Amino acid sequence: MKFKRIVVLTLIAMLLSTLAVGCGNDAEPEGGAPADQSENIKVGWVYIGVPGDYGWTYAHNQGREYMEDEIPGVESIVLENVPEGADAERSFEQLAQEGCSIIFGTSFGYGDAMLAVAKKYPDIKFMHATGLETADNLGTYFGRIYQARYLSGMVAGAMTENNQLGYVAAFPIPEVVRGINAFTLGVLAVNPEATVKVVWTNTWFDPTKEKEAAKSLLETGCDVIAQHQDTAEPQVAAEEAGKYSIGYNNDMKEFAPNANLTSPIWNWGPFYVDTIKSVMDGSWTSEAYWGGLDEGIVDLAPISDKVPAEVVEQVEAKKQAMTDKEWDVFMGPIKAQDGSEKVAQGQVLTDAEMLSMDWFVAGVLGNL
């Protein structure tokens, strides 16, 4: 008896819920059957995380939404939380089968999968964020976030009271090492006495671990926490301890209203717009894109009021110098961790040297 009643109720609930959707769909068609097919192209994204991380994937998703506003009629298809192992190749293949004209992958570990699928679908363009290998229809894209990290280091260096800064870092790979070095050089530029202590979490996305790592740094006396992770948890730890923090990926002010000083941020939107437009008008070519402050793909979030005006001025001046390409972060003289001279006066590191960086500058406390 009861069972029957449950079945009937369930069926009614299903019907009602479907009706609700039906109405919703009438009011607002959802890309399913677009009016004008000819103008439409499909664009695919494969995310390593979820937009709700408020970090790396969030920034890419912001860029995607910006693109949707800028180029009406583009249908974007997103696959979230795709692991780098066996699942990656299928995800790119599925987007290719869906008829995407260009597919973006946002994690380094997608390299093999993207290369394999790009080979199978020569007419589809592929763009691999932080990637290494390119092909005729496979490009890579990334930004010189180290420039913004240097600027954030200047802010941090000026605000520390006991000259001990902490850095919660994901993995000892060149991208992260470069960021730590740039940050430290920024710190030392305004505060030669300071040191930057590094803790590795060996994860991109693990809110608990990131927060614990930040806490361990705070307990050893660090009073500014910077980070290279996918979430804002290190900021939250600094906020709770009443210390300062430097965010990453996005303006992390809302997660740490008191602790937040500034954040090096990504601004993928305009890049996505330009790339997709170039696919639409046929001018796309495979390249290894690595834009900097001058292109606007990386930037520094607004600096907190707590930072003295003269520091902000100094930061602005350095930012201008980098935007005008008069100066860059890895310009000699730079000392390595052991005190030996790594980059001589008047020398500048090449892109290849920066992209394969596996050494720390003097002032970093930590091991690779």
Partner 1 sequence: MAKIKLIRREKESPLARVLVPVTSVLMAFAVGWIILALAGHNPVLVYQKLYNGALGSSYAVSETMVKAIPLMVAGLAVSLAFKMKLWNIGAEGQIYMGALAASWIALNLGQSSGPWLVIPLMMIAAFAAGACWGLVPGVLKAYWQVNETIITLMLNYVAISWVDYLVFGPWKDPNSMGFPLTPIFAPAAQLPTWGDSRVHLGLILAMVIAIIFYLSIQYTRWGYEVRVMGESSAAARYAGMNVTKNIMLVMLISGGIAGIAGMIEVSGITHRLQQGISPGYGYTAIIVAWLARLNPLAIIMVAFLFGALLVGGFAVQIVGVSFSITQVLQGTVLFFLLAGEIFINYKVVLAHKEVL
- Applying CB under 8 A, the residues found at the interface with partner 1 are 1-2, 10-11, 13-14, 17-18, 20-21, 24-25, 30-32, 50, 52, 77-87, 89-91, 93-95, 97-98, 108-109, 112, 132, 171-174, 177, 202, 355-358
Minimum CB distance to partner 1, residue 138 (Å)? 16
Which CB sits closer to partner 1, 126 or 284?
126
104 sits in which H/E element: strand 100-105
Minimum CB distance to partner 1, residue 362 (Å)? 20
The DSSP string of 210-228 is: HHHHHHHHHHTT--EEEEE
Task: For residues 14 and 7, give the distance between their C-alpha atoms in angstroms, rounded to a whole number.
Answer: 11
Minimum CB distance to partner 1, residue 308 (Å)? 38
Structure tokens at 34: 């677009």
Alpha helices in 249-342 (DSSP H): 269-280, 309-323
Minimum CB distance to partner 1, residue 51 (Å)? 9
Q: Is 152 within 8 Å of 130 (Cβ atoms)?
A: no
Phi, psi of 289 (to 5 degrees): -80, 130
Minimum CB distance to partner 1, residue 88 (Å)? 10
Which CB sits closer to partner 1, 17 or 320?
17
Minimum CB distance to partner 1, residue 85 (Å)? 5
Which CB sits closer to partner 1, 83 or 302?
83
Which CB sits closer to partner 1, 231 or 235?
231
Residue whose entry in the numeric block shows the structure tokens 């990926």? 249
Minimum CB distance to partner 1, residue 296 (Å)? 26
Upper half-sphere CA count for residue 135 (Cβ side, 13 Å):
19
Minimum CB distance to partner 1, residue 209 (Å)? 13
Task: For residues 227 and 218, give the distance between their C-alpha atoms in angstroms, rounded to a whole number.
Answer: 13
Which CB sits closer to partner 1, 98 or 136?
98
Which CB sits closer to partner 1, 21 or 309?
21
Q: How many residues does the chain have?
A: 368
Which CB sits closer to partner 1, 18 or 162?
18
Residue whose entry in the numeric block shows the structure tokens 């300062």? 244
Which CB sits closer to partner 1, 48 or 168?
48
Task: For residues 354 and 292, give the distance between their C-alpha atoms in angstroms, rounded to a whole number.
Answer: 14
Contacts 24+ apart (CB under 8 A), 67-74: 67/43, 67/269, 67/272, 67/273, 67/276, 70/269, 70/273, 71/273, 71/276, 71/277, 71/280, 73/34, 73/36, 73/39, 73/40, 73/41, 74/40, 74/41, 74/42, 74/43, 74/276
